[in-house]
Amino acid sequence: MTAAIIDPPPGGDLILQARKVTKAFGGLIAVREVDLDIPRGAIISLIGPNGAGKTTFFNVIAGILDPTSGVVELGGRRMVARPVRAWLEPVTWVLPAVIIGALGVLAYQASPTAGGLIVLLALIGLIAMLLAAIVRPAWYRVLLERFGVFKSARPNEMVRAGIGRTFQNIRLFANMTALENVQVGMHLKMKSNAADALLSTPRARAEETASVASALHYLELVGLKGRGDQAARNLPYGDQRRLEVARALASEPALVLLDEPTAGMNPRETREMTELIGRLRRDLGLSFLLIEHDMKVVMGISDRVTVLDHGECIAEGTPDEVRRNPRVIEAYLGRPPE
């Protein structure tokens, strides 16, 4: 049903590989066993009617949602739901019991009743934890997540791994200037820590200066030269969209996720955005995954198109193949009368 393995381009390799990704919310299966491959330097589009599960799938790839089953690999690294600092696991629940037990023994010397009670309490705590782990593994997992023992890859780790993204509804930091917005995108690339900031070390200052220069460069790249000092909320709509792209680029990603990059744009802005995406791929060698409704944009710049409907992948191929695929036409226009 979902054989969607792309032959890697000659000499190229896959940036992102999603295998049999399923995401269920309670009983509702939003995405069912979808595969997706993004080769380096490719522009891949994800289309489908409203409610097809595009955004859910997108969020799984962006690291906001954990898939119910399936794997997302980024550059060969599996990115979801992994234990970290696993050695901490026994410590987190044995240690408190040991400490409480020791306190109980100490208290025992002063008052046998109180000491005995405390030791008993420690034992009960241990047993309760053990029961939770056996009877309700989900609770136990949540508990461990709270302790920081077992956790999903957090979104900021996805950024470190090389994913940048924009949002369907613009989510700039409205009260900060355009320049500062881009600088936030560079957060992970900068090294200065709290001590540097407090002492204003030469290293921190040099890095700050460099980040301003680099942010100006990204602004120029997306065509926002000279707009750096304006607050993001004061920029025109089309410029805000482009600022989001600049902010995503600032983390130097290998893959950029664009969630409806031309939504709400007029034809001229749409054309400019399309050109921008093409230029970024050509000049910077970036890969893109787009969710897009504007078929002109999708057919114009995509290398491959994946079509989702009711959470399933119903077609995959080049824009021309997809355009002629009867299942796609059916999903969009409905079944023709017999």
Partner 1 sequence: MTVDFRRVIRPVAIGTIALLTEYALLGTQQFANALTLGAIYALIALGYTMVYGIVELINFAHGDIFMVGSFLAMWIMTTVLGLSGPVTNLLNLVGLLSIVMFATMVGMGFIGMFIERFAYRPLRHAPRLAPLITAIGVSFILQNIISSLFGPSPVNVPQIVPLDKFAFMGGKIGYLNVFMVVLAVVLMIALQLFVGRTRLGRAMRSTAQDREAAELMGVDINQTIAITFFIAAALAGAGGVIQGLYFGSIKFDLGFFVGLKAFTAAVLGGIGNTTGAAIGGFIIAFVEVYATVLGYTQWSEVAVFTVLILVLVFRPSGLLGQQLGERA
Contact residues toward partner 1 (CB under 8 A) are 62-64, 146, 154-156, 158-160, 165, 167, 171-176, 180, 183-185, 187-188, 190, 192-194, 197-198, 204, 207-208, 211-212, 247-248, 251
Least separation in angstroms between residue 47's CB and partner 1 is 22
Q: How far is the CB of 127 from partner 1 (least distance, A)?
A: 22
Query: Please, which residue, 160 or 271, has the CB nearer to partner 1?
Result: 160
What are φ and ψ of residue 200, in 5° steps?
Answer: 50, 55
Can you name the residues that pair with 37 across neighbouring β-strands? 17
Contacts of 333 (CB under 8 A, 6+ apart): none
250/22 Cα distance (integer angstroms): 31
Candidates 233, 217, 235; CA nearest to 225 is 217
The residue (of 148 and 285) whose beta carbon lies closer to partner 1 is 148
Shortest CB 23 distance to partner 1, Å: 18
Residue 155 vs 278, nearer CB to partner 1: 155
Nearer to partner 1, 159 or 255 (CB): 159
- Residue whose CB is less far from partner 1, 200 or 266: 200
Q: What is the DSSP letter of 232?
A: G
- Least Cβ distance, residue 176 to partner 1 (angstroms): 6
The H-assigned helical ranges of the chain are 54-62, 88-110, 112-135, 137-147, 155-161, 178-185, 194-199, 202-221, 237-249, 267-284, 295-301, 319-324, 326-333
User: C-beta of 190: minimal distance to partner 1 in Å?
Assistant: 5
Contact 159, 251 (CB under 8 A): yes
Q: Residue 203 Cβ, how far from partner 1 at the closest point, in Å?
A: 12
CA 43, chain centre distance (Å): 18
Nearer CB in complex with partner 1: 24/190: 190
What type of residue is 106?
L
